[in-house]
Amino acid sequence: MRVFPRAGRRTRIAVLTLLGCLPGLAAALALVLFAQGADRPVAIHLAAPAPASPASRYGAPRPRIVPRSAWLDDTVRRIQPPPRYDDKVVAVFVHHTDSPNGYACAEVPEIIRRLYTGQTGDRAWDDIGYNFLVDRCGTIYEGRAGGTERAVVGAHTQGFNHRTAGIAALGTFTAGVPVPRAMTDSIAALAAWKLGLADVDPRTRARLVSSNGLSRYREGTVVALPAVAGHQDGYRTNCPGAALAASLPGIREAAARLQGRVPQAPPTAAPPSTPATVPARTPLNPPLKAPLRAPLEVPVRSLKPPVEAPVQAPTGTP
C-alpha cells in the first residue's frame, strides 16, 4: 500500500547534489527528512533516549515479539538513517499487507524480507513502514527499527504516523475472507500492551493531528480517531479489508480486557413509546362498546289519564 509518494529521480539527484554543499550534520539531517517523503515531522526526536513512562494503571503484559534480526539479513539490508521517536503511542492503526493468505507460517521471514525490499527499493522508503507484523498463526514480528517498547515513528498511515504504531496483518482480508482467531488475538494483545504503556483505553478515541493533506484531513486538523483504528480511518483506502475492519470492535474489547478494564455495558435501548393507558377488562369495568346511535324520535303519549265523560246524578226513584 502506497502511503508516501515516491520521489522522482530528478528530484533525488537535485537534493543529493545540494547535500554536498551542506556541513556534515546538516546534510545528515536533511537526508533523514528527505527519506521520509512528504509526511511532515511533528514533535519528533532523532535517536532520542526512551522517555521514562509513568506506571500505567491499566498495563498489559508484553506479548512475545520475534526480533527484527529473525527476518532481516545482510542480503537485503540497506543503509538507513537513525530511527525517529515521538513521546508516546496513543493509537494503533491496523493494516493488511494485501498479499496471499495461503502461506506456511515458516515462510513468514521471507515474506517480510520481500515487503522490506519492495518498500525500501521500489518506493525508496528508509525502512519497512510497519512497526509490527502478525501472521496467520498469531506470531508477532518486530518491523521497523528503533525498539519495540519505544514510540518509533513509522511510515504506515499518511498523515498519522506520529504518536501511533502500525500493525500489519499478513494477508488479504476483504469481505468474506475468514480472519484467523490466532491473528486477531495477537493483534489485541499487542494493542493492549502498546497502548497500556501510555495508559490508553483501546475502546476510546485519541486526538491526533494530521501532518499531511494527503490523508483524509487537511494538514493541521485535529481529529479524534479510534485508539485501535483501521488504516481507512486516516487514509482513503480499503485497507485493512472489510473482514478485518469488522473484527476491530472485538479486538478493542479483547485488548481492554487484557488491560484489566471493566467491560462496557451494552448500550441501553430507548424505551418504546408508551401507548395510551387502556383500563383492563374486568367485570366491574366492561370493555367499551361502540356508541349507540340516537334512537328515532317517536311521539310519546301523554301520561295523563283520559278524560272520562261526567257521570250524571241519578234522577228520582220510580
pLDDT average, residue stretch 17-23 = 38
Residue 271 has a CB neighbour count (10 Å cut-off) of 6
| Confidence at 74, pLDDT banded by 50, 70, 90 | confident
SS3 134: strand
Q: Cell triple for residue 232?
A: 481507512
Q: Which residue has the higher pLDDT, 21 or 99?
A: 99
Q: What is the pTM of this model?
A: 0.69
Write out pLDDT tens, residues 134-178: 999 999 999 999 999 999 999 999 999 999 999 999 999 999 999
Please give the helix or strand (H or E) that residue 116 lies within, else none.
helix 108-120
> 240: cis peptide before it, omega within 30°?
yes
Task: Tell me if 215 sits within 8 A of 234, measured CB to CB.
Answer: yes
pLDDT average, residue stretch 83-103 = 97
Q: What is the CA radius of gyration of the chain?
A: 38
What backbone torsions phi and psi does residue 165 show, to the nearest 5 degrees? Answer: -130, 145
What span, in angstroms and rounded, lies between the C-alpha atoms of 139 and 134? 6
SS3 206: strand
Write out pLDDT tens, residues 167-220: 999 999 999 999 999 999 999 999 999 999 999 999 999 999 999 999 999 999
Write out pLDDT tens, residues 274-297: 444 444 444 444 444 444 444 444
